[in-house]
Structure 1
Amino acid sequence: MGKRRILIVGGGTAGWLTAAYLARFLDLADNAQIEITLLESPELGIIGVGEGAFPTIRTTLQFLGIDETRFIRSASATFKQGIRFNDWLHAPAADGTRHHYLHPFEAPFYTEGTSLVPYWLLQDERARVPFAEAVTIQNRVAENQRAPKKQGEGEYSGPLNYAYHFDASRLAKVLQARAIELGVRHVSGLLTDVALDADGAIARVNTRELGALEADLYVDCSGFRAELIGKALGAPFKSVKHVLFTDRALACKIPYADPDAPIESFTIATAHDAGWTWDIGLEGARGIGTVYSSTHMSDDQAEAVLRAYVGHDAYKARIIPFEPGYREAQWVKNCVAVGLSGGFLEPLESTGVVLIEAAVAMIAELFPHNGPVDAPAKRFNALITGRFERIINFLKLHYCLSRRDEPFWRDNADPASIPEGLQELLAQWRHRPPGRFDFLLDLESFAFFNYQYILYGMDYRTDLSGGRGDFPNMAAAEKLFARIRGFSEQATADLPTHRALIRAINAG
């Protein structure tokens, strides 16, 4: 059997995560039959839109053999226990009243197979506590700027589920160092053109500094430019702007006014007239960005939104335009796309990194050690397309339940903009909460309880009153709700502040 050569075009999070993951999975250091090279341009920087991840990143980093402490120190990382949504249900009232809810990463508490969700739904709507606060201790812990664990509780583990916020360019450097340790060859050169063979597959890529580079499998991690999958192979791009309207972001970094300022334990997502603003707490600064629809808001208006949020204009912001959508064929002949080259939806819920993780795990599992290199293409494309479609539904859920009256939000609530599959689920969820059989595991990035947090955070009404008799354990459920409340108070008292834990890790 001949050697299989993999050439990854592009660095950044997508390129270096792909390189390190494949090197680890294929045991590159001890496998003379596989060669992995990463070509990185010396002139192109990292976009670094995504400075947040989903809890899957812990498993990925652990698999790569990257020490958690080293990662946190090297990537300026902090802990992320979920997303807090401000003003999504309705705009701030004249008297200053505002609505907010948390999407925590911890699953709702249950015992002996009994779900508390129906019992919460059957409580008096006017008196019950918010859903996430009722069913998990993480709500109170995160709202009180506590860490999800104590120092010394073990790598990638702790009493509460968590992900990270991080500096994207620093994360890429951590992944690069690990990939090279695992045997990946790193070359620097500017891609000049791509030559195709008689069958329309990639024959070689040509570079300014290194001449021609050849491989059996080419991985396109060239970002929005999509040099291989888009420009060379012409894989069509499917826009979903008719469903997800945001297509621009205005991003900046703001230092803390006080080095001892608390670090939030979640991403803050604050809705505005035509989109939302992210606020991410890193160790030494906050990453802040306004996401908006250019159909509903001008760049100048977005700048005013960002300035009002930050409270001053002493920052440098850059506009990042993007087209929400994806390629239905992300593996074409001997080329597979990972990251922005395959598609991008929007920064909400950190799906950019999630999709990189999903793609590279599938490439590793499906990797053709011999035979046609495109043998897995049809399967890969079906799985990645299904994943994109379901993420689109999940992201749309955040918008279409809003009662805000600006045109952007009314357009989002218009059934014509809501995918049919999501409309069918919403109709069913009028009479029962989301459950695991609503979702196909290998196509999902989010579990049924993630949908519950959004639905019930946005005051969606699931009416179980007609079947009240089917839920006879109300007294036991009330005791459980009280226990969760008690555990919440205890955990908040016991856990260190987020900044204290990050400081201790960095000092160690």
Structure 2
Amino acid sequence: MRSILIIGGGTAGWLTAAYLARFLDLADHPHRRITLLESPEIGTIGVGEGAFPTMRSTLRFLGIDETRFIRETSATFKQGVCFTDWLHAPQDGQRHRYFHPFEAPLYADAPGLVPHWLRQDKATRPPFAEAMTIQNRVAEARRAPKGPDEEAFTGPLSYAYHFDAGQLGRLLAERAVELGVRHVQDRLEDVVLDAAGRIDHVVSREHGPLRADLYIDCSGFRAELIGRALGVPFRSARPYLFTDRALACKLPYDRPDAPLPSFTIAAAHEAGWTWDISLAGMRGLGCVYSSDHMDDARAAATLRAYAGDRIDEVETRLLSFEPGYRERQWVGNCVAVGLSAGFLEPLESTGVVLIEAAVAMIAELFPHHGPIDAPARRFNTLMTARFDNIVSFLKLHYCLSRREEPFWRDNVDPASIPDRLKELLDQWRHRPPNRYDFILDLESFAFFNYQYILYGMEFATDLPSEATDLAAMRAAEKLLLKIRRYGERAADDLPSHRQLIDRINGQPAS
């Protein structure tokens, strides 16, 4: 007999429960048990969240139909992130923007293509993402990443989703219970440790003591097990990532047929940035900021300036967080997943992908017999490295800025840049990022993701001048022209994002 007790619901708890129930095949293995303890007094914040393309594989594995997912979570398609005003503040009506698409460069492995783009005239060459992938044009044209007749979870372009987190939690809960998870609605009252310092049992208000072989802490920032009971130290990322607050809300569209972007908008402001996520029925907005550089009143004014007067008609929620993670996330018979394990910031939707990575690892490493903590060291090594590498990737977005406000100047200070990132930046001044810079199992982002951010932020890679190879130059130009033509054709052929979402939801086409 092996039993698992998950503390906490929400996206982390219910995704963990459903995934493990599916992986461990509870229906055919009655000697395995999964119970989820969820307090009915604690709700889920559903202001609009984003995911990675990995979510498609996760949903498919769980057996959740894509159409059902989109309908029940107010979901839309997400093709990447559009960054506005990160390089510099608006100047004389001019605003800088660049796109980070999910699609890999169409010819990522073509020798000489990126160097050819780097050697082009900076004043006349197209933006990097526009030159290297067709997705840039498709997204800017507000087109969907797939057609209405494509099979579920597939399409000509890579994509993820925007969704309402509260609605997703309910959908995952239904699926987890279908897969055999026992749902206990009760309040956690106490955590009792044994003589060795491990969890002996937890105490709930109505159901009394609850015991398991493995306890999974999905209790959010409260970290009831890993933090309060076991006292595992928290490693702050504030020396590198300064944002620690967000003021969030939902805002209805002006009209039902409003155009629907298929990307997250990340608009920089004086002390952070604002997310703008388009759900099916409304927008999720959030002003992310550093409390060391902006007070709450100024943040409210910043969000109002972005969203307009209609924001006065809706409720806003202030969220506080400390960027960082637990130094050890699996200790004895307890493993933390989600916010209890760590959180960095909303940029690039890393919160959900860290949940996916953790639960997949727990499933693959799960000790069916022997010591329950046998995988702990390996799990901690992999997850710590993944958190560290995400810190560097997120910092990359900030440390290349030319904005003059104190928040941005502090981000450019070399003392605030992780040593590994500084080393890579020094190398990338003379060559573009490549796959040998990264170890796949420790990364959430590929080398071309770094290229999109670097060259979107106009980072200078100084390649040596070479004797003109006319054949190579002509081949590169043909590839770039082909990408442009493919992009134009895709933007013509694919439906608008609004049309596809309305069709999936059974509404008349806009």
TM bucket normalised to smaller: over 0.9
Cα distance in 2 for partners of 1:412, 1:472 equals 43
1:487 — aligned with what? 486
Q: Given the alignment of the two structures, is residue 45 of structure 1 paired with residue 38 of structure 2, yes or no?
A: no
Question: Which of these residues, 212, 215, 236, is aligned with residue 215 of structure 1?
Answer: 212
Change in Cα spacing, 1:221 to 1:102, as seen in structure 2 (3 Å) is same
Cα distance in 2 for partners of 1:99, 1:314 equals 31
Give the stretch that moved more between structures: 472-481 or 72-81.
Answer: 472-481
- Kindly indicate whether the alpha-carbon contact (under 8 Å) linking 2:47 and 2:250 is maintained by their aligned counterparts in 1: no
Cα distance in 1 for partners of 2:47, 2:350 equals 11
- Kindly indicate whether the alpha-carbon contact (under 8 Å) linking 2:240 and 2:395 is maintained by their aligned counterparts in 1: yes
Q: CA deviation at 1:50?
A: 6.1
Question: Which of these residues, 125, 143, 146, is aligned with residue 146 of structure 1?
Answer: 143
Change in Cα spacing, 1:336 to 1:471, as seen in structure 2 (3 Å) is farther
Question: Which of these residues, 70, 73, 81, is aligned with residue 83 of structure 1?
Answer: 81
Q: CA deviation at 1:484?
A: 1.0
Q: CA deviation at 1:466?
A: 3.2
- Kindly indicate whether the alpha-carbon contact (under 8 Å) linking 1:75 and 1:166 is maintained by their aligned counterparts in 2: yes
**Matched residue pairs, number?**
505
- Kindly indicate whether the alpha-carbon contact (under 8 Å) linking 1:49 and 1:347 is maintained by their aligned counterparts in 2: no
SS at structure 2 position matched to 1:114: coil
Deviations 1:71-125 (A, max 9, x none): 11111100000000000000000x2000000000000111774352111111111
Q: Which runs of 5+ in 1 are unaligned?
A: none
Q: Given the alignment of the two structures, is residue 452 of structure 1 paired with residue 445 of structure 2, yes or no?
A: no
Give runs of ≥4 in structure 1 deviating > 6 Å. Answer: none
* Partner AA of 1:52 in structure 2: G
Cα distance in 2 for partners of 1:317, 1:36 equals 36
Q: CA deviation at 1:48?
A: 4.0
2:7 — aligned with what? 9
* Cα RMSD (Å): 1.2
2:101 — aligned with what? 104
- What does 1:113-132 align with in structure 2 at a 5 Å threshold? 113-114=110-111, 116-132=113-129
Change in Cα spacing, 1:420 to 1:49, as seen in structure 2 (3 Å) is farther
Q: TM-score, normalised by structure 2?
A: 0.97
SS at structure 2 position matched to 1:451: helix
* Partner AA of 1:250 in structure 2: L
Q: TM-score, normalised by structure 1?
A: 0.98
Q: Which runs of 5+ in 2 are unaligned?
A: none
Cα distance in 2 for partners of 1:468, 1:318 equals 59
Q: Given the alignment of the two structures, is residue 378 of structure 1 paired with residue 385 of structure 2, yes or no?
A: no
1:299 — aligned with what? 296
* Partner AA of 1:124 in structure 2: D
Change in Cα spacing, 1:386 to 1:133, as seen in structure 2 (3 Å) is same
Question: Which of these residues, 264, 267, 271, is aligned with residue 268 of structure 2?
Answer: 271
- Kindly indicate whether the alpha-carbon contact (under 8 Å) linking 2:48 and 2:279 is maintained by their aligned counterparts in 1: no
Deviations 1:394-433 (A, max 9, x none): 0000000000000000000000000000000000000111
Q: Given the alignment of the two structures, is residue 252 of structure 1 paired with residue 261 of structure 2, yes or no?
A: no
Q: Given the alignment of the two structures, is residue 169 of structure 1 paired with residue 172 of structure 2, yes or no?
A: no
- Kindly indicate whether the alpha-carbon contact (under 8 Å) linking 1:195 and 1:205 is maintained by their aligned counterparts in 2: yes
- Kindly indicate whether the alpha-carbon contact (under 8 Å) linking 2:47 and 2:249 is maintained by their aligned counterparts in 1: no
Deviations 1:266-286 (A, max 9, x none): 000000000000000000100
Q: Given the alignment of the two structures, is residue 28 of structure 1 paired with residue 21 of structure 2, yes or no?
A: no
Cα distance in 2 for partners of 1:32, 1:252 equals 44
- Kindly indicate whether the alpha-carbon contact (under 8 Å) linking 1:399 and 1:413 is maintained by their aligned counterparts in 2: yes
- What does 1:320-359 align with in structure 2 at a 5 Å threshold? 320-359=319-358
1:412 — aligned with what? 411
Question: Which of these residues, 131, 134, 142, is aligned with residue 131 of structure 2?
Answer: 134
Q: Percent of aligned positions with the same letter in both sequences? A: 70
Deviations 1:169-208 (A, max 9, x none): 0111111111111111111100001000010000000010
Cα distance in 2 for partners of 1:250, 1:215 equals 38
* Partner AA of 2:336 in structure 1: A
Cα distance in 1 for partners of 2:482, 2:178 equals 48
SS at structure 2 position matched to 1:110: coil
SS at structure 1 position matched to 2:465: helix
Cα distance in 1 for partners of 2:261, 2:37 equals 37
Change in Cα spacing, 1:239 to 1:61, as seen in structure 2 (3 Å) is same
SS at structure 2 position matched to 1:218: strand
Q: CA deviation at 1:33?
A: 2.0
* Partner AA of 1:97 in structure 2: Q
